[in-house]
Amino acid sequence: MEHISPGERAAELRRELNYHGYRYYTLDDPVIGDGQYDSLIRELREIETAYPELLTPDSPTQRVGGDPSPAFDEVEHSRPMLSLGNAFDFNELAAWHRRITGLLDGASFDMVCELKIDGLAVNLTYQDGILAQGATRGNGTTGEDVTRNLRTIKTIPISLLRGAPEHLEVRGEVFLPIAEFQRLNEERAERGDPLYANPRNTGAGSIRQLDPKVTAARNMEIWVYALGDPNAPEVPRDHWAALDWLHGLGFRINPENRPCRTLDEVQDYYQSWLERRHDLPYEADGVVVKVSSLDMQDQLGVVGREPRWAIAYKFPAEQAVTKLLHIGINV
Protein backbone atom coordinates (compact mmCIF):
# COMPACT_ATOMS: atom_id res chain seq x y z
CA MET A 1 0.00 0.00 0.00
CA GLU A 2 1.25 3.46 -0.87
CA HIS A 3 2.52 5.25 2.24
CA ILE A 4 1.15 8.74 2.85
CA SER A 5 2.23 11.06 5.63
CA PRO A 6 -0.15 12.20 8.43
CA GLY A 7 -0.08 15.70 6.87
CA GLU A 8 -1.17 14.38 3.48
CA ARG A 9 -3.86 12.18 5.02
CA ALA A 10 -5.16 15.12 7.10
CA ALA A 11 -5.37 17.30 3.97
CA GLU A 12 -7.17 14.52 2.10
CA LEU A 13 -9.65 14.03 4.97
CA ARG A 14 -10.31 17.78 5.21
CA ARG A 15 -11.05 17.92 1.49
CA GLU A 16 -13.36 14.91 1.64
CA LEU A 17 -15.15 16.05 4.79
CA ASN A 18 -15.64 19.58 3.45
CA TYR A 19 -17.27 18.11 0.38
CA HIS A 20 -19.55 15.83 2.43
CA GLY A 21 -20.38 18.69 4.81
CA TYR A 22 -21.44 20.79 1.82
CA ARG A 23 -23.62 17.95 0.46
CA TYR A 24 -25.23 17.45 3.87
CA TYR A 25 -25.60 20.94 5.34
CA THR A 26 -25.97 23.10 2.23
CA LEU A 27 -27.62 20.79 -0.30
CA ASP A 28 -29.44 18.47 2.17
CA ASP A 29 -28.31 15.68 -0.14
CA PRO A 30 -25.50 13.57 1.37
CA VAL A 31 -23.75 10.89 -0.67
CA ILE A 32 -22.36 8.86 2.25
CA GLY A 33 -23.96 7.54 5.44
CA ASP A 34 -23.61 9.30 8.81
CA GLY A 35 -21.59 6.38 10.23
CA GLN A 36 -19.05 6.78 7.42
CA TYR A 37 -18.90 10.55 7.93
CA ASP A 38 -18.42 10.05 11.68
CA SER A 39 -15.51 7.64 11.19
CA LEU A 40 -13.76 10.02 8.74
CA ILE A 41 -14.08 12.93 11.16
CA ARG A 42 -12.86 10.73 13.99
CA GLU A 43 -9.78 9.77 11.96
CA LEU A 44 -9.05 13.45 11.26
CA ARG A 45 -9.49 14.32 14.94
CA GLU A 46 -7.07 11.55 15.94
CA ILE A 47 -4.42 12.85 13.51
CA GLU A 48 -4.92 16.43 14.77
CA THR A 49 -4.57 15.27 18.38
CA ALA A 50 -1.37 13.36 17.63
CA TYR A 51 0.05 16.18 15.44
CA PRO A 52 -1.42 19.48 16.72
CA GLU A 53 0.68 21.40 14.19
CA LEU A 54 -1.54 19.92 11.45
CA LEU A 55 -4.68 21.53 12.88
CA THR A 56 -6.00 24.30 10.61
CA PRO A 57 -8.69 26.84 11.57
CA ASP A 58 -10.82 25.74 8.61
CA SER A 59 -10.69 22.06 9.62
CA PRO A 60 -14.17 20.46 9.71
CA THR A 61 -13.35 19.37 13.29
CA GLN A 62 -13.35 23.08 14.27
CA ARG A 63 -16.45 24.24 12.43
CA VAL A 64 -20.19 23.87 12.98
CA GLY A 65 -22.51 22.94 10.10
CA GLY A 66 -22.25 24.77 6.77
CA ASP A 67 -22.30 28.36 5.61
CA PRO A 68 -25.76 29.90 5.25
CA SER A 69 -27.23 29.83 1.77
CA PRO A 70 -27.33 33.24 0.03
CA ALA A 71 -30.94 32.45 -0.90
CA PHE A 72 -31.96 33.52 2.64
CA ASP A 73 -31.35 36.61 4.75
CA GLU A 74 -28.64 36.06 7.32
CA VAL A 75 -29.33 35.98 11.07
CA GLU A 76 -26.55 36.55 13.61
CA HIS A 77 -27.19 34.30 16.60
CA SER A 78 -27.09 36.09 19.95
CA ARG A 79 -25.17 33.07 21.31
CA PRO A 80 -23.46 30.49 19.07
CA MET A 81 -25.43 27.38 18.14
CA LEU A 82 -22.92 24.66 18.86
CA SER A 83 -22.22 21.10 17.88
CA LEU A 84 -21.85 18.22 20.37
CA GLY A 85 -19.00 15.92 21.30
CA ASN A 86 -19.71 12.23 20.74
CA ALA A 87 -19.42 9.08 22.83
CA PHE A 88 -19.62 5.89 20.79
CA ASP A 89 -19.61 3.46 23.74
CA PHE A 90 -20.04 3.35 27.52
CA ASN A 91 -16.30 3.78 28.16
CA GLU A 92 -16.28 7.07 26.24
CA LEU A 93 -19.36 8.23 28.15
CA ALA A 94 -17.72 7.31 31.48
CA ALA A 95 -14.54 9.18 30.42
CA TRP A 96 -16.65 12.31 29.72
CA HIS A 97 -18.31 11.96 33.15
CA ARG A 98 -14.92 11.57 34.90
CA ARG A 99 -13.49 14.55 33.03
CA ILE A 100 -16.24 16.93 34.03
CA THR A 101 -16.39 15.59 37.60
CA GLY A 102 -12.71 16.58 37.77
CA LEU A 103 -13.43 20.04 36.36
CA LEU A 104 -16.20 20.45 38.96
CA ASP A 105 -13.71 19.60 41.78
CA GLY A 106 -15.35 16.24 42.40
CA ALA A 107 -18.87 17.65 42.91
CA SER A 108 -21.72 15.31 41.98
CA PHE A 109 -24.29 16.56 39.47
CA ASP A 110 -27.69 15.68 38.06
CA MET A 111 -28.05 15.02 34.35
CA VAL A 112 -30.89 15.07 31.85
CA CYS A 113 -31.15 12.45 29.09
CA GLU A 114 -32.90 13.43 25.86
CA LEU A 115 -33.33 11.63 22.58
CA LYS A 116 -31.04 13.10 19.91
CA ILE A 117 -33.56 13.93 17.21
CA ASP A 118 -32.20 13.70 13.69
CA GLY A 119 -33.59 16.86 12.14
CA LEU A 120 -32.62 20.49 11.74
CA ALA A 121 -31.68 22.80 14.64
CA VAL A 122 -33.56 26.10 14.76
CA ASN A 123 -33.52 29.18 16.97
CA LEU A 124 -36.91 30.82 17.60
CA THR A 125 -37.12 34.42 18.84
CA TYR A 126 -40.28 35.67 20.59
CA GLN A 127 -40.92 39.34 21.18
CA ASP A 128 -43.74 40.15 23.63
CA GLY A 129 -44.81 36.51 23.39
CA ILE A 130 -45.14 36.52 19.58
CA LEU A 131 -42.91 34.55 17.20
CA ALA A 132 -40.75 37.22 15.58
CA GLN A 133 -37.99 35.24 13.90
CA GLY A 134 -36.90 31.68 13.18
CA ALA A 135 -33.41 30.80 11.97
CA THR A 136 -31.39 27.72 11.09
CA ARG A 137 -28.09 26.98 12.88
CA GLY A 138 -26.07 27.66 9.71
CA ASN A 139 -22.36 27.81 10.58
CA GLY A 140 -23.14 28.26 14.29
CA THR A 141 -22.72 32.05 14.40
CA THR A 142 -24.78 32.99 11.33
CA GLY A 143 -27.93 31.15 10.31
CA GLU A 144 -30.62 31.54 7.65
CA ASP A 145 -33.84 33.46 8.21
CA VAL A 146 -36.57 30.83 7.65
CA THR A 147 -39.30 32.57 9.68
CA ARG A 148 -41.96 32.28 6.97
CA ASN A 149 -41.42 28.54 6.68
CA LEU A 150 -41.31 27.89 10.42
CA ARG A 151 -44.58 29.82 10.91
CA THR A 152 -46.33 27.10 8.89
CA ILE A 153 -45.37 24.37 11.40
CA LYS A 154 -48.38 23.82 13.60
CA THR A 155 -46.42 22.58 16.64
CA ILE A 156 -44.40 25.83 16.80
CA PRO A 157 -46.45 28.31 18.85
CA ILE A 158 -47.05 31.63 17.10
CA SER A 159 -48.01 33.23 20.41
CA LEU A 160 -47.02 32.07 23.88
CA LEU A 161 -49.15 31.45 26.94
CA ARG A 162 -49.22 33.91 29.87
CA GLY A 163 -45.96 34.59 31.68
CA ALA A 164 -43.66 34.88 28.67
CA PRO A 165 -40.79 37.35 29.13
CA GLU A 166 -40.55 40.35 26.80
CA HIS A 167 -37.73 38.71 24.81
CA LEU A 168 -37.25 34.96 24.62
CA GLU A 169 -35.11 32.70 22.45
CA VAL A 170 -35.57 28.94 22.36
CA ARG A 171 -33.80 26.21 20.43
CA GLY A 172 -35.17 22.97 19.17
CA GLU A 173 -35.09 20.35 16.47
CA VAL A 174 -37.55 20.52 13.59
CA PHE A 175 -38.12 17.13 12.02
CA LEU A 176 -40.19 15.25 9.49
CA PRO A 177 -42.10 12.37 11.19
CA ILE A 178 -41.43 8.97 9.57
CA ALA A 179 -45.11 8.49 8.60
CA GLU A 180 -45.06 11.84 6.81
CA PHE A 181 -41.83 10.91 5.02
CA GLN A 182 -43.43 7.65 3.85
CA ARG A 183 -46.54 9.53 2.68
CA LEU A 184 -44.40 11.93 0.62
CA ASN A 185 -42.51 9.03 -0.93
CA GLU A 186 -45.73 7.16 -1.78
CA GLU A 187 -46.92 10.28 -3.61
CA ARG A 188 -43.58 10.50 -5.43
CA ALA A 189 -43.68 6.80 -6.37
CA GLU A 190 -47.18 7.31 -7.86
CA ARG A 191 -45.91 10.23 -9.94
CA GLY A 192 -42.79 8.29 -10.96
CA ASP A 193 -40.50 10.85 -9.21
CA PRO A 194 -37.24 9.63 -7.58
CA LEU A 195 -37.75 8.75 -3.92
CA TYR A 196 -36.36 10.83 -1.05
CA ALA A 197 -33.47 9.14 0.76
CA ASN A 198 -34.34 9.69 4.43
CA PRO A 199 -36.48 11.81 6.77
CA ARG A 200 -33.56 13.92 8.06
CA ASN A 201 -32.49 15.37 4.75
CA THR A 202 -36.02 15.61 3.37
CA GLY A 203 -37.01 17.48 6.54
CA ALA A 204 -34.02 19.85 6.43
CA GLY A 205 -34.70 20.50 2.73
CA SER A 206 -38.36 21.22 3.55
CA ILE A 207 -37.38 24.05 5.91
CA ARG A 208 -34.80 25.53 3.57
CA GLN A 209 -37.36 26.18 0.82
CA LEU A 210 -38.07 29.54 -0.76
CA ASP A 211 -41.81 28.86 -0.95
CA PRO A 212 -43.44 28.44 2.50
CA LYS A 213 -46.30 26.51 0.84
CA VAL A 214 -43.87 23.61 0.35
CA THR A 215 -43.07 23.53 4.08
CA ALA A 216 -46.75 23.90 4.95
CA ALA A 217 -47.66 20.87 2.84
CA ARG A 218 -45.24 18.63 4.79
CA ASN A 219 -46.44 18.13 8.32
CA MET A 220 -43.21 18.92 10.13
CA GLU A 221 -42.94 18.96 13.94
CA ILE A 222 -40.64 20.35 16.63
CA TRP A 223 -39.22 19.30 19.99
CA VAL A 224 -37.81 22.26 21.91
CA TYR A 225 -34.69 21.33 23.94
CA ALA A 226 -33.00 24.52 25.18
CA LEU A 227 -33.13 28.24 25.76
CA GLY A 228 -31.26 30.54 23.41
CA ASP A 229 -30.31 32.73 26.39
CA PRO A 230 -30.33 30.59 29.52
CA ASN A 231 -29.09 33.54 31.61
CA ALA A 232 -32.33 35.54 31.26
CA PRO A 233 -33.54 36.43 34.80
CA GLU A 234 -36.87 34.56 34.47
CA VAL A 235 -35.27 31.23 33.63
CA PRO A 236 -34.87 28.55 36.34
CA ARG A 237 -31.17 27.78 36.93
CA ASP A 238 -31.65 24.11 36.14
CA HIS A 239 -32.14 22.58 32.69
CA TRP A 240 -34.83 20.09 33.78
CA ALA A 241 -36.81 22.88 35.50
CA ALA A 242 -36.25 25.19 32.49
CA LEU A 243 -37.78 22.60 30.14
CA ASP A 244 -40.81 22.41 32.42
CA TRP A 245 -41.03 26.23 32.43
CA LEU A 246 -40.90 26.26 28.61
CA HIS A 247 -43.64 23.63 28.53
CA GLY A 248 -45.77 25.99 30.65
CA LEU A 249 -45.32 28.71 28.00
CA GLY A 250 -46.72 26.39 25.32
CA PHE A 251 -43.58 24.78 23.85
CA ARG A 252 -43.48 21.14 22.85
CA ILE A 253 -41.03 19.30 25.13
CA ASN A 254 -40.30 15.64 24.43
CA PRO A 255 -42.08 13.54 27.10
CA GLU A 256 -39.33 10.88 26.75
CA ASN A 257 -36.75 13.21 28.41
CA ARG A 258 -35.52 11.82 31.75
CA PRO A 259 -33.62 13.25 34.73
CA CYS A 260 -30.74 10.91 35.69
CA ARG A 261 -28.45 10.95 38.70
CA THR A 262 -26.01 8.16 37.88
CA LEU A 263 -24.22 6.79 34.83
CA ASP A 264 -26.09 3.49 35.34
CA GLU A 265 -29.39 5.37 34.93
CA VAL A 266 -28.06 7.01 31.75
CA GLN A 267 -26.99 3.61 30.44
CA ASP A 268 -30.45 2.11 31.18
CA TYR A 269 -32.12 4.97 29.29
CA TYR A 270 -29.72 4.56 26.35
CA GLN A 271 -30.12 0.77 26.26
CA SER A 272 -33.91 0.91 26.41
CA TRP A 273 -34.02 3.34 23.43
CA LEU A 274 -31.39 1.41 21.51
CA GLU A 275 -33.80 -1.54 21.61
CA ARG A 276 -36.94 0.51 20.90
CA ARG A 277 -35.67 3.29 18.64
CA HIS A 278 -37.68 2.00 15.69
CA ASP A 279 -40.91 2.28 17.72
CA LEU A 280 -40.48 6.06 17.71
CA PRO A 281 -42.51 7.99 15.12
CA TYR A 282 -39.37 10.03 14.28
CA GLU A 283 -35.67 9.33 13.80
CA ALA A 284 -33.25 9.58 16.72
CA ASP A 285 -29.54 8.82 16.35
CA GLY A 286 -28.56 8.71 20.01
CA VAL A 287 -29.09 10.21 23.45
CA VAL A 288 -27.94 13.70 24.47
CA VAL A 289 -26.73 13.71 28.08
CA LYS A 290 -26.65 17.17 29.69
CA VAL A 291 -25.49 18.48 33.05
CA SER A 292 -28.70 19.91 34.54
CA SER A 293 -27.39 22.76 36.70
CA LEU A 294 -27.02 25.92 34.59
CA ASP A 295 -24.39 27.28 37.00
CA MET A 296 -22.33 24.13 36.42
CA GLN A 297 -22.91 24.46 32.67
CA ASP A 298 -21.45 27.99 32.86
CA GLN A 299 -18.53 26.76 34.94
CA LEU A 300 -17.77 23.96 32.43
CA GLY A 301 -18.12 26.22 29.38
CA VAL A 302 -17.27 25.40 25.80
CA VAL A 303 -14.19 23.96 24.12
CA GLY A 304 -13.93 24.70 20.40
CA ARG A 305 -17.33 24.03 18.87
CA GLU A 306 -18.63 21.78 21.70
CA PRO A 307 -20.04 22.51 25.16
CA ARG A 308 -18.21 20.48 27.83
CA TRP A 309 -21.48 20.03 29.76
CA ALA A 310 -23.23 17.84 27.16
CA ILE A 311 -22.40 14.83 25.04
CA ALA A 312 -24.13 12.89 22.26
CA TYR A 313 -24.10 9.18 23.17
CA LYS A 314 -24.62 7.82 19.67
CA PHE A 315 -26.54 4.71 18.61
CA PRO A 316 -24.54 2.47 16.26
CA ALA A 317 -25.03 3.57 12.61
CA GLU A 318 -27.48 1.51 10.58
CA GLN A 319 -28.18 3.79 7.63
CA ALA A 320 -28.47 1.16 4.90
CA VAL A 321 -31.11 -0.87 6.75
CA THR A 322 -33.27 2.07 7.84
CA LYS A 323 -33.41 3.50 4.32
CA LEU A 324 -34.94 0.29 3.01
CA LEU A 325 -37.39 0.06 5.91
CA HIS A 326 -38.54 3.65 5.34
CA ILE A 327 -39.63 2.98 1.82
CA GLY A 328 -41.57 -0.03 3.02
CA ILE A 329 -39.37 -2.86 1.74
CA ASN A 330 -39.30 -5.84 4.06
CA VAL A 331 -35.75 -7.00 4.75
User: Which chain residues interact with ligand NAD by CB under 6 A?
Assistant: 20-21, 23-24, 30, 32-34, 37-38, 64-65, 83-84, 114, 116-117, 121, 137, 173, 225, 285, 288, 312
What phi-psi label fits residue 286: left (phi over 0), alpha (psi between -120 and 50 degrees) or beta?
A: left
Q: How far is residue 29 CA from its own chain's centroid?
A: 17
For residue 116, indicate whether it is catalytic. Answer: yes
293: β partners: 238
- CB closer to ligand NAD out of 129 and 312: 312
Give the shortest CB-310-to-ligand NAD separation in angstroms: 7
> CA-based angle 296:300:301, to the nearest 5?
115
Bridging pattern class, strands 302-303 and 221-227:
unpaired
Give the shortest CB-22-to-ligand NAD separation in angstroms: 9
Q: How far is residue 310 CA from its own chain's centroid?
A: 12
Q: Please tell me which residue in 116, 154, 290, 314 is annotated as part of the active site.
A: 116
Bridging pattern class, strands 284-291 and 310-314:
antiparallel
CA atoms within 13 A on the CB side of 19: 8
Give the shortest CB-36-to-ligand NAD separation in angstroms: 7
- CB closer to ligand NAD out of 130 and 320: 320
- CB closer to ligand NAD out of 41 and 129: 41
Give the shortest CB-141-to-ligand NAD separation in angstroms: 13
d(CA 308, CA 100): 7
Asked whether 288 and 122 are in contact (CB, 8 A), the reply is no
- CB closer to ligand NAD out of 37 and 72: 37
Active site residues: 116
